[in-house]
């Protein structure tokens, strides 16, 4: 009797503690493999080798190699995000509203699902086989039109070449994000604006574009962060010849090329800030457009 009462007393709080116990592995995992490692880097960015607080690492970021690496990274990410957003939006629009045969849409969506995940080293190989010095397209252009793109300044291992390569996963990502957003434009909005006297251009300027704007800008930011953190494609394509921030950080982790571990942490901190800001803005914009779409 007493034993069972004690047992039930012990048993009563159990469901709750068991519930919390269920999320412990997740929280522990998040701490061990996300939060603490990132925090350690951020702390390291403000420490000197002896562990004292300093802002020197941040100040030391201000050197030509590092500034240039950030610049190039931001430029490539922005260019590929902008191009990807523009072209991806065009294709998403064509697929969703362009009155093309029905089968095109699922085909394009499936392909986009594959291509947006087809990044990294193999993507670099594919573009080398296409637009490298001996690539098929390079060879065809030379033999058919007598036009050697490399003689006219094109180089796959450059800003333009890398941007063109990044577009291969940026455009599909944009298609995947924007097609549902364009689907969200109701036919009645177009009709209501037409019957109120608006032209198609006025409808896009005053209604459709403002409605899509948060999704568009948000998608651009997501694409930007996506390209900014990428490294494998660039590394496989250019080795370490291209000075972008991820390749610099890669070299720093490998061999401390900056001869200052704590400067490496500051480098990483800068990256987290940039991707964090653009992702944060993306999430904020998305919640805004979702509020409208209800």
Partner 1 sequence: MKRPVIGPWITIILGAIYFLVPLVATFEFSLRMKRGEYSFEAYRVVFGDPNFQASFTYSALIAVAAIIVGVLIVVPTAYIVQLKLPRLRPLVEFITLLPLVIPAIVLVFGYIRMYNSSSWIPLTNSARGTDFLLTCAYVTLALPYMYRAVDTGLRAIDIRTLTEAAQSLGSSWPRILFQVILPNVRVAVLSGAFLTFAIVIGEFTMASLLNRPAFGPYLQLVGANRAYEPAALAIIAFIITWACMGLIQLFGGGRRNDTRR
Partner 2 sequence: MAFLTLEKITKTFGNQTTIHGIDLAVERGEFVSFLGPSGCGKTTTLRMIAGFETPTSGTIKIDGKDVTDLRPNQRNIGMVFQAYALFPNMTVADNIAFGLKVAKKSSAEIAARVKEMLALIKLPDVGNRFPYQLSGGQQQRVALARALAIQPKILLLDEPLSALDAKIRIALRDEIRAVQRSLGITTIYVTHDQEEALSMSDRICVMNEGRIEQLGTPFEIYNNPKTRFVATFVGTLNVLNGTMVDTATGRIAIDGQEVVATRGANGASTGDSLAVALRPEALSIGETEPGRNGLKGVIEEVHFLGPVVRIRVRFGDNVVSLDTFNRPHSAPPVRGEPVNVHFGHEDLLVLDRPAI
What residues line the site for partner 2 (CB under 8 A)? Answer: 186, 188-189, 191-199, 202, 206-207, 210-211, 291-294
Binding site partner of 151, from partner 2, partner 1, none, Cβ cut-off 5-8 A by kind: none
Question: Nearest approach, Cβ of 206 to partner 2 (angstroms)?
Answer: 7
Our CB check for partner 1 shows the closer of 1 and 43 to be: 43
CA pair distance 70, 249, nearest whole angstrom: 11
Q: Which two tokens stand for residue 52?
A: 């004292």
Our CB check for partner 1 shows the closer of 1 and 115 to be: 115
Our CB check for partner 2 shows the closer of 185 and 268 to be: 185
Question: Nearest approach, Cβ of 89 to partner 1 (angstroms)?
Answer: 10
* Residue (of 227, 215, 182) closest to 284 by Cα position: 215
Binding site partner of 218, from partner 2, partner 1, none, Cβ cut-off 5-8 A by kind: none
- Other beta carbons within 10 angstroms of residue 49's beta carbon come to 9
CA pair distance 271, 66, nearest whole angstrom: 12
CA pair distance 190, 206, nearest whole angstrom: 11
Binding site partner of 196, from partner 2, partner 1, none, Cβ cut-off 5-8 A by kind: partner 2
Question: Nearest approach, Cβ of 196 to partner 1 (angstroms)?
Answer: 15
Our CB check for partner 1 shows the closer of 1 and 150 to be: 150
- Other beta carbons within 10 angstroms of residue 129's beta carbon come to 13
Question: Nearest approach, Cβ of 2 to partner 1 (angstroms)?
Answer: 26
CA pair distance 65, 228, nearest whole angstrom: 17
């Amino acid at each position: 009797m007493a034993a069972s009462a004690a047992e039930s007393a012990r048993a009563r709080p159990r469901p709750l503690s068991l519930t919390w116990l269920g999320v412990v592995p997740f929280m522990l995992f998040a701490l061990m493999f996300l939060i603490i490692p990132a925090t350690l880097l951020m702390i390291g960015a403000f420490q000197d080798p002896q562990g004292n607080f300093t802002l020197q690492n941040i100040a030391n970021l201000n050197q030509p190699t590092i500034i240039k690496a950030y610049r190039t990274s931001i430029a490539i990410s922005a260019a590929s995000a902008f191009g990807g957003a523009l072209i991806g939006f065009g294709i998403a629009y064509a697929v969703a509203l362009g009155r093309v045969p029905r089968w095109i849409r699922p085909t394009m969506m499936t392909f986009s699902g594959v291509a947006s995940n087809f990044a990294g080293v193999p993507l670099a190989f594919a573009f080398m086989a296409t637009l490298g010095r001996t690539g098929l397209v390079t060879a065809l252009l030379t033999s058919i039109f007598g036009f050697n793109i490399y003689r006219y300044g094109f180089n796959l291992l450059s800003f333009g070449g890398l941007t063109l390569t990044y577009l291969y996963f940026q455009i599909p990502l944009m298609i995947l994000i924007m097609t549902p957003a364009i689907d969200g434009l109701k036919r009645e909005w177009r009709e209501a604006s037409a019957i109120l006297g608006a032209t198609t251009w006025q409808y896009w300027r005053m209604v459709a574009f403002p409605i899509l704007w948060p999704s568009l800008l948000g998608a651009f930011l997501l694409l930007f962060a996506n390209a900014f953190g990428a490294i494998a494609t660039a590394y496989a394509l250019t080795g370490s010849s291209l000075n972008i921030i991820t390749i610099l950080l890669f070299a720093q982790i490998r061999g401390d090329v900056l001869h200052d571990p704590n400067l490496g942490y500051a480098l990483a901190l800068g990256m987290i800030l940039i991707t964090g800001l653009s992702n944060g803005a993306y999430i904020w914009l998305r919640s805004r457009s979702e509020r409208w779409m209800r």
